[in-house]
Structure 1
Amino acid sequence: MSEYAAARLNMVEGQIRPNKVTDQRLVDAMLDIPREQFVPKAARGIAYVDEDLAIGKGRYLMEPMVFARMLQEVGIDETDVALDIGSGSGYSTAVLARLAATVVGIESDAELARQATESLSAVGVDNAVVITAPLTEGYPQQAPYDVIVIEGLVSEVPDGILAQLGEGGRLVAAVLGDRGVGEVKLYQRSGGVTSARTLFEAHTHPLPGFEAKPKFVF
């Protein structure tokens, strides 16, 4: 077993499984995708650390446990069409591609999007594409989606993104709570109405563009 394969196994057995992640398809996907392929070369030795990992340009790969819990809670079926908002270097898109039928990743930084496309090709992902586009707008051109995942902390989920969910669709995101702590929320669309519930707390880095708008004081 290679050094990285051993690190992936340790990530799953030490971080993922002990934290209520039981979906075997998800576990297999995280064992399969080489996380080191999606980080800067200088950071490959810490690719499997149990915290958010900087990938440059102020962006991060989410902590493996938080990311895995989010994907388990959103419930991805092998026939789903998924939207990955803030795909960064492409790791999240690659994992989603092992679970869903089709994945559209959007990334606002053109260089990160290029790196993501190259890395996805390098690991044999052929059912996903990464597009350069503003993150806060989602990607309505391919809507509706069965699943939407937002890769980072947001002040709120824009209504325009929620509107891209199809009937029965689910969205998962870490949203800044009243106490200043991230709360992973699951949004579900049923009967044309979108409801939300809080799942667990998550300390993750903000996703640029989703900061809270300043309030005017008179």
Structure 2
Amino acid sequence: MDLEKARFNMIEQQIRPWDVLDQEILDLLAVVKREQFVPAAYAALAFVDMEIPLPAGQNMLAPRVEARLLQDLAVRKHENVLEIGAGSGYMAALLANRARHVLTVEIEPELAELARGNLAAAGIGNAEVAEGNGATGWAAAAPYDVICISASVPELPQSILSQIKVGGRIAAIVGNAPVMEARIITRVSETEYQVVNLFETVVTPLQGAAQTSRFKF
């Protein structure tokens, strides 16, 4: 496989047509090597428009979904990020290139170890992997400037909403199959949140996601 040609095609044929037009994001996708975060058995699928299987029944998000969430979160260099669902560590690597620090939480020990190894191999020094259930957030290091949930949740718990700073943003894919909505939620005051719906999709559910404590917009 010509990796650079496959990467170029992924960016130009999958990601750019999905309204990912921020050149810094497109450049970042060319720099952070996605194939280094894909299990060896699926290396040939690294740039394909699909979720890629990971250990413990989890999946990497499709490239266009990752890119669109990354663009619309608009992470800045001084910001601290919580990612829920580390997977292979790829989204954490992308976020870390934009942020001051990324804490990514993974419930599956095998995946937490995989993410740590991949991030270290890629030379990402400002991303930390914590093992545990982040489905209600990670209060120990809250509040955060940005929260990215790298899987779907049936609803967004109040506990996660409360862990974001005023002016902070949450990327979440909310709902149940066959209809889920990718959203950016911005906290505009102590009590108010602004929601922007990005696109409909269906992605793997977050393991351990809570079904209660809904927040109504």
Per the normalisation by structure 2, the TM-score is 0.91
Moved more, 91-100 or 4-13: 4-13
C-alpha deviation, 1:211, in angstroms: 6.2
For residues 85 and 198 of structure 1, what CA distance do their matches in structure 2 show? 20
Say which SS state the counterpart of residue 14 (structure 2) adopts.
helix
Match of 1:84 in 2: 83
Match of 1:110 in 2: 109
For residues 47 and 66 of structure 1, what CA distance do their matches in structure 2 show? 14
Say which SS state the counterpart of residue 136 (structure 1) adopts.
coil
Match of 1:41 in 2: 40
Q: How many residues align?
A: 211
Match of 2:183 in 1: 185
1:124-157, Cα deviation, whole Å (9 max, x unpaired): 1011111101121321111111111101111011
Match of 1:128 in 2: 127
Gaps of 5+ in 2: 213-217
Give the aligned residue type for 1:205: T
RMSD: 1.6
CA contact (8 A) 2:56 2:110 kept: no
For residues 136 and 205 of structure 1, what CA distance do their matches in structure 2 show? 14
C-alpha deviation, 1:212, in angstroms: 4.2
Per the normalisation by structure 1, the TM-score is 0.91
CA contact (8 A) 1:174 1:185 kept: yes
Gaps of 5+ in 1: 214-218
**Mapping of 1:65-80 within 5 angstroms?**
65-80=64-79
Are residue 58 (structure 1) and residue 49 (structure 2) matched?
A: no
- Measured at CA, do residues 211 and 191 of structure 1 come closer, stay the same or move farther in structure 2, by a change above 3 Å? closer
1:39-60, Cα deviation, whole Å (9 max, x unpaired): 2111111111101111121111
What stretches of structure 1 move > 3 A for 4+ residues in a row? Answer: none
C-alpha deviation, 1:122, in angstroms: 0.5
Give the aligned residue type for 1:183: E
Give the aligned residue type for 1:167: V
For residues 158 and 196 of structure 2, what CA distance do their matches in structure 1 show? 16
For residues 8 and 97 of structure 2, what CA distance do their matches in structure 1 show? 17
**Mapping of 1:156-195 within 5 angstroms?**
156-176=155-175, 180-192=178-190, 193-195=192-194
